[in-house]
Each structure stands twice: as structure tokens, then as C-alpha cells.
Structure 1
Amino acid sequence: MSKPVRFGVCLVVFAIFVLPLFAMVVVAFTPRASLFDGGASLWPSSWTLDNFRTAFDNYPVARWFGNALLVATLTTILSVVVNLLAGYALAKMRFRGRSVVFVVILSTLVVPTQAVMIPQFELVARMGLIGFFWAVVLPSASTALGVFLARQFFVSFPDELIDAARVDGCGPLTAFRRIVLPNTRPLVAVMVLLAFMTQWNDFLWPLITLRDPDLYTLPVALRFLQGAYDADYGGIMAVALLSSLPLLILFVLLQRYFVAGLTRSGLRS
């Protein structure tokens, strides 16, 4: 494929992903009167922060943002820890039925989330967690994709280093913490991005389990900005823009490890 063709393909892909973000920024900073009188344009005639002020004045956006950040952070920490340990056990520890366990975990990837939502809700309800953040955090504390990525990463980790640590008197957890864990930065970066992004954008499960509006996260709370007869599009886009910033910042901070982590986890040939 020639360079002009590749450049054209990259330009089209870039436009597909960037134009919606650009439109969101334009609407967020366009005055409300301009949106209803003349509609949104490719460039606002005047830039304003009124949409942000109106959203913060009329709704507890700061609280919703804090809720989303807390839930996503707790879920990410638990998910990374559990998936790392599970993947390491499936890759490096010898026990009966190891392959069967891995296949069963992997097979859950093809099960739709909606298919397990009712039994999952019943389990969370019997634990008395409905209406608490833990109802959202605990069901996402481990994922089949995270276990798969960790297992594939650790399969390629040299056994000689782990054996040397055992000869020096290190137990399984000590060897994992001192020898294996310092070399998992690319894997951790991928798992953090995927877990944080998934939990941050989740809508249906927090809507079902967090019944108090003060506990809602941003994706759930966005529906409050849409009324029965009209919608504050400027406010919606303003809050949506704020909602996208943590993901953009996190990706910029971890993107140097992201490609390496996917490559070593077996998702790229």
C-alpha cells in the first residue's frame, strides 16, 4: 500500500474518531440562545462557559463526578489485583484442572452481560449491597478479559527467574511481588485503562443498583439533563466533555505502555 493511500486511510479514521469529540466541544461552548436560534455551527460565533455554570448550578455535577471517580478507581484497583493474581496462578502454578478453569473463565466472554444481570442482581441484593457503591464495585472486581490478558502475559515470563527466586527462599507470593510484578508495567497499563474505561462509562448496572440520585455516577446522571419535553444540549455536552477528560488524561499518561502491553498479552500477532 502506497504512502498516499495509507495517509488517506489514516485521515479518514482520524476524522471518524475526532469529529464527534470536536462537535461535543463546539456545542459545549456555544451559547444556549445560539443553539436554539440558529443551531450549532462548525465554529461558535462566541465562546461561553454558561453551559458549564448552568449544569453545576442546577445539578450536583461535582458530586456525580466524585462518585464516578471513586467507583472507577476502586473497581480498577480491585480488578488489577485480582486479575494479576489469577492470571499468574493460571500461567505459572501447577494444579489439577488448571486448563479447565481457564477455559471456563474464557468461555464467559461470549455470555452477554444482560444474560447474567438478573442472577447477579439477586446475589448483590441478598448481600445487602443495593444502594451502596460496593454493589457496583464488587461485581466488576474481576473480569474474564483481564484474567486472559494476565495469563497470556505471564506465559511468556521466564520460568528461570521464578525458579531462582524460589532457590533463594522466596515463597510464591514473595517471588511474584519482587520478581514478576516489577516487570508487568505494560500489562498493568492495559488493565488499568480497560477497567477504568469500562467502569467509568457503565450506565445500566449503576442505574439499577444505585437507587439514590446522590450516589449516581456521571453516565447515569446525564439523563437528568434531558427533560420530558426539551433537552439542554449545551449542558449535556458540557457534562459529557467533563466526563471524557479523565479517560483522555489516563490514556495520555499510560499510552507509552499500552501498545507494548497488548503485544505481550497476545492480542497482536
Structure 2
Amino acid sequence: MSAPSPPGGREPRRARADRGRRWTGLAGRYAALLLMLVVMLGPIVWQFLTSIRGRTENVYDGMLPSQPTLDNYVRVAESFPLLQYAGNTLVVAALAVTSNTLFAAMGGYALSRAAWKGRKVVFTLLVATLMFPFESVMISMFLTVREMGLVDTLIGVWLPGAVSVLNVMIMRSAFLAVPREVEEAAVLDGANEWTRFARVFLPSAKGALAVVCLTSFMGAWDDFLWPLLVLTDSDNYTLQLGLKTLAGATTVNDQRLIAAGAMAALIPMMLLFLALQRFFFKGVGEGAVKT
């Protein structure tokens, strides 16, 4: 039997108050999310709209361009060797993704599954290195690269970021999430250490591997300070250094071109994220840092 309706068809005062609080809380959450969306995407949208403004338009005249055009991107490619700088950056990013994926996976497996003395000590020391900012070791890294004869080379740009401690921690946590019974079953089937690593653990950590690939690519693609220290020949410049020369060139005083160059640097990262987002959000849960 259904509960009797309140007299006069009215809701009790407490029920109306509870429903009002729920609606207020829901509206507050959506307002906060909308504010975060504006803060995070607002500069990118403004940059894009600036990049498609016509030559005769005022950059700060309204939100939407009255004469949208892609001519600024063509002018950027003609103003400086955009494709050459993008190719240099792509080489560094490809090396960073390959080395981080390989070494982070191997290091994460060694710290999570392989049994050897001193494993906890090494793990503690690796976590401790996360407290030191890059600026505190930048000079010693530069001196090391110089002694190796790698100054003004793309290898010198890539080498300090060949493997990230944070990526090792992500892979370690993902491997710890693999049930022990799965590993024991592989051992009973005669799988050795390398076979278990390649056939059991790596396929179980695809999401974490996607996170490592994406963060490694973004770190190498966006890096500015370290290439600025290492590179001197403009033929070896990465894209971020090239954009700096574009912004500082005396012959270029056009915010439209600078915005177009910035968007050209952002587009590859956006495409990569869209391609890997399914694995990325899965890997965030797999690779949450655990102790």
C-alpha cells in the first residue's frame, strides 16, 4: 500500500527544505565546475581567437574576430623554420617517450615484484629525490652534459629526462595492483622473470603506460629552460625556443603571429591526449602513488 499523501497535497516542510538544499548544493557544484572550465580553457580560447584575426583587426577589439582567417598560420611558417623546430622537438619527445616507457616499466617492476635486498631503501631514496626542484640540480646536470660532449645536441636535451622518478612510481603502483594469484599461475606455467614482465604485467598496466607516454611527451614537448641552456645553434632549436625567437624578433611585432605559433605548438599535445584519453583516465587509477 502506498503512503497516504499529506493533507492538502503539500510536501512536509522538512522534505521541501531537504530538496532545496540538494538543489542548492548541485547548483553550487556546477557553478564551481563552470568557473574552473572558464579559468582553464579561457586563455586557450582567447589565444585561438587571436590567432585567426585578420591583419586589420584590433587584437583587443571584442571577443570574436570579425574577419576570421588562417593566414596567420601561413605567415608563422614563413617567418621562421617551424617544421624544422617541430621536427627537432618530435625527435626529443620520441626519445623521451621510448626511454621513459621502457625504463619506468622495468624500474617499477623491480621495485614492486622482484625480490632483492635494499629494495625499500632504493624506493625511499627515489621518493626523496622528488623533493628537489629542477633548478637545484640544473647546474650540475649542465656540467655533466658538457663533460660528456653533448652540449648543443638533441641527445643532450633528451638525456636528463630519459626516465622520470614519478613515472617509475606510477608503474610500480600499477604493478602492485596485479593480483598475486596471477603471478603465481604464471610461475606454475613455467614463465621466467622476463616472460612474466612482458606477458603478464605489461598488458595489465596499459593505462599506466599511457599515462607515462603522455606525461613524457608533454614534458619534452613543452620544455623550455633546459633546451635554452644546452642549445646554442639555431638549427638544433626545439619548438619552444623557436617560439621565443619569434616573440622576440624585431621584425615581428604581431600578437596574431605569436598566438598562431603558440596554437601550432599546442595542437599536437591536444591530439595526443584525445587519442589516449581513454587509457589515460584508466591509468590514473592504476598508477596512483602508493607506498
Match 1:51 to one of 66, 72, 75: 72
The answer to whether the 8 Å contact 1:27/1:40 transfers is no
Structure 1 unaligned blocks of 5 or more: none
Map 1:95-244 to 2 at 5 A.
95-227=116-248, 231-244=253-266
Query: Corresponding residue for 2:30?
Result: 7
Are 1:79 and 2:100 counterparts?
Answer: yes
The answer to whether the 8 Å contact 1:190/1:258 transfers is yes
Match 2:43 to one of 13, 16, 20: 20
- Secondary structure of the residue aligned to 1:110 is coil
Choose 1 or 2 for highest CA Rg.
2
Change beyond 3 A, Cα 1:207–1:131: same
Query: Corresponding residue for 2:268?
Result: 246
- Secondary structure of the residue aligned to 1:57 is helix
Structure 2 unaligned blocks of 5 or more: 1-21
The answer to whether the 8 Å contact 2:224/2:240 transfers is yes
Change beyond 3 A, Cα 1:58–1:228: closer
Query: Corresponding residue for 1:257?
Result: 279
Query: Corresponding residue for 2:4?
Result: none
Q: CA deviation at 1:159?
A: 2.1
- Secondary structure of the residue aligned to 1:211 is coil
The answer to whether the 8 Å contact 2:178/2:204 transfers is no
Identity %: 34
What amino acid maps onto 1:79 in structure 2? N
The answer to whether the 8 Å contact 1:225/1:232 transfers is no
The answer to whether the 8 Å contact 2:173/2:289 transfers is no
The answer to whether the 8 Å contact 2:174/2:208 transfers is yes
Q: CA deviation at 1:177?
A: 0.6
Aligned CA-pair RMSD:
1.7
1:204-260 superposed Cα distances (whole Å, 9 cap, x missing partner) = 101111221111111111111123666321111101101111111111111112222
- Secondary structure of the residue aligned to 1:93 is coil
Give the distance between the partners of 2:184 and 2:199, measured in 1 at CA: 13
